[in-house]
Amino acid sequence: MDRSPTTFLVLIILAVLGIGYFVQQKTHPESGPTSDPAVLASDFGKVEAAITAAKGKVVLVDCWATWCGPCVASFPKLVEKDEKYRSKGLTVISVSLDDPSSSSEVQDFLKKQNATFTNLQPTFDAATQKGLEKRLGYRGGIPHAALFNRQGERVWTGHPASPELEAKIETELNN
């Protein structure tokens, strides 16, 4: 085996690049789908930042929780919408309203659902409540979805399994 300093340097560089890529994929899931969905603990500012970062795309935000039967039942449709429309310009962001102490349950659920889009789990405090109400039209019930056009304006709110939603996504993607 060649033990020259050049070989050693090349191996170090490859290791650093590999680690850097892994860290980037785990800390910036919005840069593309991953097979292991990250759950980013956050405050509402991160939800707002994720919507703003996707300006120029149609954004679907879904509020849900693992303890909510209708949320669990409708979540596969959210994954289907992501898979169907991602290449056409849709960005999906899930916002888990589970208690932050249950992040491992949320992570397990997302893995089982193959949810490779951005997943946020804000602390549900007064600021988050106000942000959800103002920005997402949230009124306390889940599941709750909000759709934003390419300019970042909210254009629809309602139940994520509503047939209206699919039609509205298609309309916004074609605008």
Q: Strands 144-148, 154-158: parallel, antiparallel or unpaired by DSSP?
A: antiparallel
Predicted pLDDT of residue 34: 44
Radius of gyration of the chain measured on its C-alpha atoms:
19
What whole-number distance in Å separates Cα of residue 17 and Cα of residue 84?
Answer: 32
Q: What is the mean pLDDT of residues 154-159?
A: 96
Q: Average pLDDT, whole number, for the chain? A: 83
Q: Any bridge partners for residue 93, and if so which?
A: 61, 118
The answer to whether the beta carbons of residues 165 and 147 sit under 8 Å apart is yes
What whole-number distance in Å separates Cα of residue 82 and Cα of residue 116?
Answer: 9
Q: What is the mean pLDDT of residues 7-11?
A: 51
Predicted pLDDT of residue 44: 85
CB atoms within 10 A of CB 23: 10
25 pLDDT exceeds 70?
A: no
Q: How confident is the model at residue 3 (pLDDT cuts 50, 70, 90)?
A: low
65 pLDDT exceeds 90?
A: yes
Alpha helices in 86-125, H assignment, sequence order: 103-113
Joined together, the tokens standing for residue 45 give 């500012």
pLDDT tens for residues 81-130?
999 999 999 999 999 999 988 889 999 999 999 999 999 999 888 888 89
Asked if the peptide bond before residue 143 counts as cis, ω within 30 degrees of 0, the response is: yes
46 pLDDT exceeds 70?
A: yes
Alpha helices in 28-143, H assignment, sequence order: 44-53, 69-85, 103-113, 126-136
Predicted pLDDT of residue 7: 57
Predicted pLDDT of residue 45: 87
Q: How confident is the model at residue 160 (pLDDT cuts 50, 70, 90)?
A: very high
Predicted pLDDT of residue 68: 96
